[in-house]
Amino acid sequence: TSITTVNIVVTDVNDNNPKFDLNLPRNLTVQEEEANMFVGQVTATDPDAGANGLVRYRIVNHLGVFTINENGSIFTTVPLDRELRSRYDLIVEASDGAVDPRRTTFTLSVLVIDIDDNSPEFSQKTYIVNVPENSPVGTVVLRFSVRELSVLQTLDFEDLDSMGTGSTYTFLVEAVDQAGTMPPGEATVTIRITVRSYVTLYSLCLS
């Protein structure tokens, strides 16, 4: 009777897909107008052994806008502009290191955060208004329409020049956003005081 030792090596079969950590946030934010901004990070694992368990990441869409490194950190590659696009649905793929790799995708929502980068803009540069004489105090003579592309800003109007004399008043109006980081918008307003016209009616009797 003889005894020998036999070593049995169990080789791995690539039978598992990479799995993303679903506890990580899916809704991410990034500030506009700067490249190489950190957006967020994903993590995926694969229980297979050796190369079959090595996980690699890649961006599936928006390739010229976002990039991902080997540890799953996502960055912008170009400055973003919220006025052009405020949201990206970003698809990230995790694959293993097998010759015929198994793949899994994960979708993230990336919201672009606005910064104050636009001056208020009047709908016109010059306004001319006719106001009848003896109009009561509080009469509304003009309503402005101002466009401010940066969101979450309120506008205040200020009379910057002293009013003229006579029947015509010309002054400058300035629209300033609340943050005050951009130059104000300006418009010139001319108000003309017009004379009220009266019509006298006469009765003509024929006899």
- Break the chain into its structural domains and give their ranges: 19-113, 121-194
Question: pLDDT per position in the chain (207 positions), as tens?
Answer: 778 888 887 777 888 999 999 998 999 999 888 899 999 999 999 999 889 999 999 999 999 999 999 999 999 999 998 888 999 999 999 999 998 999 999 999 999 987 766 777 788 888 888 877 777 777 777 777 776 544 333 334 333 333 333 578 787 887 777 666 677 788 888 888 776 655 555 555 553
CATH superfamily, region 121-194: Cadherins (2.60.40.60)
- The CATH code of domain 19-113 reads 2.60.40.60
Q: Would 19-113 and 121-194 be classified into the same CATH topology?
A: yes
Q: Which two tokens stand for residue 56?
A: 């690699």
